[in-house]
A and B are shown apart, each in its own frame.
Chain A
Amino acid sequence: MTLPNEDEIQLHNEIAGAGTGLPQPLRAVWRTLYWTYERATWQYDLMVIAILAFVWLTPPSWIGDPHAGGLGPIGWLTAWLRG
């Protein structure tokens, strides 16, 4: 595995908008929307987890899924909480 050189790191930071002077929380949002990360990085893993959570946890009725059956984990939980 080769480590990126300084020019590559600087380019990545510039492209990722690190130099735009945004405060930290906004910078994280910016970097999520303006995606410059490679596969098999922890940021990529986090994105995959977020996507899978949306796909598997969202109750199908919330998005009007014509084919999915069942409530989904969040649906079960809200149904259980309602009694």
Chain B
Amino acid sequence: MTFTGFIGTVCMFPLRAIIRACVVLRIHPNVLTFVGVLINLIAAWALATGRFVTAGGIMIAANIFDFIDGKVAREMGMESAFGGFWDSVMDRFSDLALFLGLVYLYSSVHRTDYVVITVMAMIFTVLTSYARARAESVVAKCKVGFMERPERIVLFMIGAFTNRMAAVLWVILVLSILTVADRIFYTWRELERAKAPERVPV
């Protein structure tokens, strides 16, 4: 088992109990998604006021809701197309709220350079998910690139808990740019391949 696989397995133990509790209490998965967003807004406020450790703790709570909603829906047999759509839209909102908190923080200390870096990271975060959504309307699957939402959220937490948010923003920015480029290249290649005439065996 890999290191990250091991961490994932360990984290799943408490999460399974929470999922079970939500199923027993019959909490609607869309409500869980919405509660996660509300908690993320509080995390964004904590980031905006420079309380990184508090923000990190709140982000953990918010992302538990965010992580379990799909699994609760599956266990309750309540998976729906709207649920998936609602979850995606709310995820983008949560992401942007966190970035907005950082924009507020850096502008309040007159750090235009980091305002620009945060806004650029925000732009490429949106483009990452948009590129995949748009690509998957023309090709079967577009899951290339490293920087997806779980990676981004874990990085935000690491930055918050260890007070290294600036370095985290650089990582998110660079890897998000690469992810968008990967998705554009992958989609172009897949479409070119689909256009090519089928090889006829000689």
Q: Which residues of A contact B (CB under 8 A)?
A: 15, 33-36, 39-42, 44-45, 47-48, 51-52, 54-56, 58, 60, 63-69
B9's nearest neighbour on chain A, judged by CB, is A40
Contact residue among B52, B106, B164 (Cβ-Cβ distance under 8 Å from A60) = B164
Once A51-B155, A66-B109 are accepted as A-B contacts, the answer to whether A40 and B4 lie under 8 Å apart by CB is yes
Q: Are A66 and B144 in contact (CB under 8 A)?
A: no
Once A35-B182, A66-B109 are accepted as A-B contacts, the answer to whether A60 and B2 lie under 8 Å apart by CB is no
Q: Are B185 and A68 in contact (CB under 8 A)?
A: no
Residues of B with C-beta under 8 A to A35:
144-146, 178-179, 182
Q: Are A66 and B166 in contact (CB under 8 A)?
A: yes
Q: Which 10 A-B pairs have the closest CB atoms?
A: A40-B5, A65-B166, A35-B146, A55-B167, A45-B3, A66-B111, A45-B2, A40-B2, A55-B164, A68-B163
Q: Are B4 and A55 in contact (CB under 8 A)?
A: no
* Nearest chain A CB to B182 CB, angstrom units: 5
Residues of A with C-beta under 8 A to B105:
67
Decide yes or no whether B8 CB sits under 8 A from chain A: yes
Q: CA–CA, A48 to B3, complex, Å?
A: 10
Residues of A with C-beta under 8 A to B150:
39
Q: Are A34 and B144 in contact (CB under 8 A)?
A: yes
12 contacts between A and B (CB under 8 A): A39-B4, A40-B1, A40-B5, A45-B4, A47-B146, A51-B171, A55-B167, A55-B168, A56-B164, A64-B114, A65-B164, A66-B111
